[in-house]
Chain A
Amino acid sequence: MPERTLEELAESFALFSDWEERYRYLIDLGARLPPMDDALKVEEHLVRGCTSKVWLVPSIQNGVFHFMADSDAQIVRGLVYLLMVAFQDKPVDYVRTYDIRGAFERLGLHQHLSPNRRNGFFAMVEKIRALAGAV
């Protein structure tokens, strides 16, 4: 998985002059997401979202958070990649306290974390935070 941090990625995003470049880059990042076994893309791993499908298989071992995730939509897959950068194999305490909203704001992607019942990605972030013990 990626070594970079969201802060480094924010620097790359800041170089883009318009949304098209930002979204093109996000779609490219999504294409780099480690493939998720199709056998895991089942109903019980679906995060409820209205428009796109998001699958999430999280686990916590020895206080470390690990997850597999994917989406059938390209932009959401890019957002999932960003979550991997932020949270993959990080201590649960870190996941719980990390200001993911602030990080997405710096990326200029905060609208994807708006509390919207149609927003499967938002539901996924909420689920991860809940697993990590955030209220």
Chain B
Amino acid sequence: MAKAVAPKSVRTIADLRADFPTLAGKMSGKPVAYLDTGASAQKPQAVIDAMKDVMESHYANIHRGLYEFSQTTTTEYEAVRAKVAGFIGAGSENEVIFTRNTTEAINLVAHSWGRRVLERGDDVIITEMEHHANIVPWQLVCGMTGAKLKVVPVNDDGTLNIAAFEHMVTEKTKIVSFVHISNSLGTINPAKKIVEICKAKNPNVTVLIDGSQSAVHGPVNVQDLGCDFFAFTGHKLYGPTGVGVLWAKAEILEQMPPYQGGGDMIEQVTFAKTTFKEAPAKFEAGTPAIVEVIGLGAAIDYVQGIGMDVIAAHEKSLFEYAMKELAAIPGLTYYGTGPDKAGIISFRADWGHPSDIGMILDQCGVAVRTGHHCCQPLMQRFGVEATVRASLGLYSDENDIDALVDGLHKARSLLG
């Protein structure tokens, strides 16, 4: 039996698990085996403490007050922008915009950049494996502008038909938006190659990468990827809910009109005319999620302390362990069987409905996701309505996998 590699030699997986208070808890009276990190990650004490600290010691609104609390909080908040820039290899912290989540980041691009550049007859290209968050905003904007939405198909093994990008990108294509790692299949898309193909075909195309699952899985460098936009969310990165990030190239941000109006984003307001601040302030109307942004900073410190490459290696070896152990369960069909996979395992059983399996696993203390994973078109492509999805995080260990396998044996005996 292969043992999964523990992140960093100095910190064992048991050490890391101790950083997450919820993992010591129970679910349905059993020790929790949390295998739903792809939906939202548990939070390390460092993140909880950072958020508590700002609220307990020097909380104030940012960017406005001349007093010490406000200045300290502003400094901490803005320091996270630089931290994010470093984390994803951005050229400048001014290219980092805080949003509510990935969904809002994509909507921002669709409604600001999309509505600026798209005209009737233009194309927006997405893929068949997109999350609804990377489908619906584009449908809305296509509806407003008369642009057409084109969809790159998914192969039977859950990989993208890369050649289709080559055919589909034309001089009419203005925007390509695709997911880096599929949340429901675990497929790691060759993002850099896809960007190269698209830009080679049409240098004017702008490319957005949905990094919800990739920014948490391993190292990301937006400049190396060559994309124009990169979006990810805090709560999947072991940080708080309510904060996400849009990164965009400075020259594009300059051309983008504001998406929402309000306080903190203006230079001068009269009833006749309003002038706006530069990016990123232009895109951050109103009081932001101050405490959550600071929490995100703590989360980035935390994962960087472990090492994103170490996290990726751990998840990879645990994924391999899981696939080996799951082979003992008869009747499973996997969705997403390509060669390059993150720690996401999506399957159905010929002996039980995903809903029944999810309910029984809950009784066993095992948290998995059951459903369409906000990817209904992808589910339709595979002819299913739902799958069971187990997803791994930096704290997942072999005990979690063993609990899943035991729970599935139990489910089969009850349902089969």
Taking CB atoms, residues of chain A closer than 8 Å to B354 are 51-52
Q: Is A32 an interface residue (CB 8 A)?
A: no
Interface residues of B in 368-413 (CB under 8 A from A): 370-372, 385-386, 410
CB distance from B48 to the nearest CB of A (A): 25
Pair A51/B358 contact, Cβ less than 8 Å: yes
Mark interface residues in B344-361 (1 if CB within 8 Å of A CB, else 0). Answer: 000000001111101110
Pair B372/A74 contact, Cβ less than 8 Å: no
CB distance from A55 to the nearest CB of B (A): 14
Pair B355/A76 contact, Cβ less than 8 Å: yes
Pair A51/B355 contact, Cβ less than 8 Å: yes
CB distance from B415 to the nearest CB of A (A): 6
Taking CB atoms, residues of chain A closer than 8 Å to B372 are 50
Pair B414/A20 contact, Cβ less than 8 Å: yes
Q: Is A110 an interface residue (CB 8 A)?
A: no
Taking CB atoms, residues of chain A closer than 8 Å to B371 are 50-51, 118
Given contacts A19-B363, A50-B371, A51-B371, contact A27 B355 (CB under 8 A): no
Taking CB atoms, residues of chain A closer than 8 Å to B358 are 51
Taking CB atoms, residues of chain B closer than 8 Å to A19 are 28, 363
Main secondary structure of the interface of A (DSSP, over half): helix
Pair A75/B355 contact, Cβ less than 8 Å: yes
Chain A residue nearest in CB terms to B358: A51
Pair A23/B363 contact, Cβ less than 8 Å: yes
Pair B353/A52 contact, Cβ less than 8 Å: yes
Q: Is A134 an interface residue (CB 8 A)?
A: no
CB distance from A74 to the nearest CB of B (A): 5
Pair B28/A73 contact, Cβ less than 8 Å: no
Mark interface residues in A63-91 (1 if CB within 8 Å of B CB, else 0). Answer: 00000000011111000000000000000
Interface residues of A in 22-59 (CB under 8 A from B): 23-24, 27, 50-53
Which one of A24, A73, A111 contacts B414 once the chains associate, using CB atoms below 8 Å?
Answer: A24
Pair A51/B370 contact, Cβ less than 8 Å: yes
Q: Give A50 to B353 CA distance when docked, in angstroms.
A: 13
Pair B363/A73 contact, Cβ less than 8 Å: no
Mark interface residues in B151-162 (1 if CB within 8 Å of A CB, else 0). Answer: 000000000000
Taking CB atoms, residues of chain A closer than 8 Å to B385 are 53
Chain B residue nearest in CB terms to A50: B371
Pair A72/B363 contact, Cβ less than 8 Å: no
CB distance from B103 to the nearest CB of A (A): 16
Chain A residue nearest in CB terms to B374: A50
Interface on A for B, CB 8 Å cutoff? 19-20, 23-24, 27, 50-53, 72-76, 111, 118
14 extra A-B contacts, CB within 8 A, seeds A52-B355, A75-B355: A20-B414, A23-B359, A23-B360, A23-B363, A23-B414, A50-B372, A51-B355, A51-B358, A72-B353, A74-B353, A74-B415, A75-B359, A75-B360, A118-B371
Q: Which 5 A-B residue pairs are closest in the complex by CB-CB distance?
A: A52-B355, A73-B353, A51-B355, A73-B355, A19-B363
Q: Name 25 interchain pairs, CB-CB below 8 A, sorted by A.
A: A19-B28, A20-B410, A20-B414, A23-B359, A23-B363, A27-B414, A27-B415, A50-B371, A50-B372, A50-B386, A51-B354, A51-B355, A51-B370, A51-B386, A52-B355, A52-B356, A72-B353, A73-B356, A74-B352, A74-B415, A75-B355, A75-B359, A75-B360, A76-B355, A76-B356
